[in-house]
């Protein structure tokens, strides 16, 4: 094998492992969000690709240990790329808690109502006095618009965002399309 062919093999191993790990990362995130059917389809291709990569890496590994380095690099970059792609795909739902002082209650309520967001509002008490807690459910894909607007217009509002699964009930359509 020439030097150029060997470098090509190392690049191939790294790229294939990057693709494989990207698929794996996306699959795990999707399954955790309740998309098990999509996850099982991805698993088929993920494992088929893994078998090919394993043969490439393990064949004559003693005389070419750089194959292991290429494999590890592909794995490392694949996780990062997988997380970025999964965020961009944005499947699933999120729950947003907005906590503000009682004085900001009216302004935040008005903002959410004018932008047609459905929310539940509760009273609370914190160390610094009365608080108002807003709870919203949104599709992850369309949530950045609201999060960015809250940060811009209400910088002192505490915002907590968590992945969630909805079992029963509905999300108001406007919350899903923002």
Tell me the residue range of the domain where 32 lies: 3-89
**Can you give the pTM of this predicted structure?**
0.73
144 and 102 co-located in one domain: yes
Helix axes 3-32, 36-58, angle to 10 degrees: 160
47 and 34 co-located in one domain: yes
Residues 6 or more apart in contact with residue 43 via CB below 8 angstroms:
27
Q: How far apart are CA 66 and CA 48, in angstroms?
A: 23
Count of domains observed in the chain? 2
* pLDDT tens digits, one per residue of 20-44: 999 999 999 889 888 899 999 999 9
Listed residues 89, 113, 136: the one ending a domain: 89
31 and 76 co-located in one domain: yes
Identify any residues that bridge with 125 across adjacent strands, giving them in sequence order: 130
Listed residues 89, 104, 133: the one ending a domain: 89
* pLDDT tens digits, one per residue of 11-24: 999 999 999 999 99
Listed residues 58, 89, 120: the one ending a domain: 89
CATH number, position 138:
3.30.70.120
CA terminus-to-terminus distance, the chain: 56
Q: Are residues 131 and 117 in contact, defined by beta-carbon separation less than 8 angstroms?
A: no
* pLDDT tens digits, one per residue of 92-125: 889 999 999 989 999 999 999 999 999 999 999 9
Reading phi first (left if > 0) and then psi (alpha if -120 to 50, else beta), residue 81 is in alpha
72 and 103 co-located in one domain: no
């Amino acid at each position: 094998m020439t030097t150029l062919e060997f470098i090509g093999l190392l690049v191939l191993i790294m790229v294939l492992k990057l693709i494989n790990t990207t698929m794996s990362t996306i699959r795990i995130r999707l399954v955790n969000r309740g998309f098990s059917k999509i996850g099982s389809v991805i698993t088929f291709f993920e494992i088929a690709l893994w078998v090919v990569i394993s043969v490439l890496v393990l064949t004559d590994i003693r005389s070419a240990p750089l194959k292991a380095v290429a494999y590890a690099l592909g794995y490392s970059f694949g996780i990062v790329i997988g997380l970025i792609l999964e965020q961009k795909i944005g499947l699933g739902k999120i729950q947003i808690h907005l906590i503000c002082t009682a004085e900001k209650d009216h302004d935040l309520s008005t903002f959410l109502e004018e932008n047609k967001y459905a929310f539940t509002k509760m009273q609370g008490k914190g160390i610094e006095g009365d608080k108002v807690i807003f709870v919203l459910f949104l599709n992850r894909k369309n949530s950045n618009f609201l999060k960015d607007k809250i940060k811009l217009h209400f910088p002192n509002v505490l915002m907590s965002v968590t992945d969630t699964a909805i079992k029963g009930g509905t999300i108001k359509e406007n919350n899903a399309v923002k």
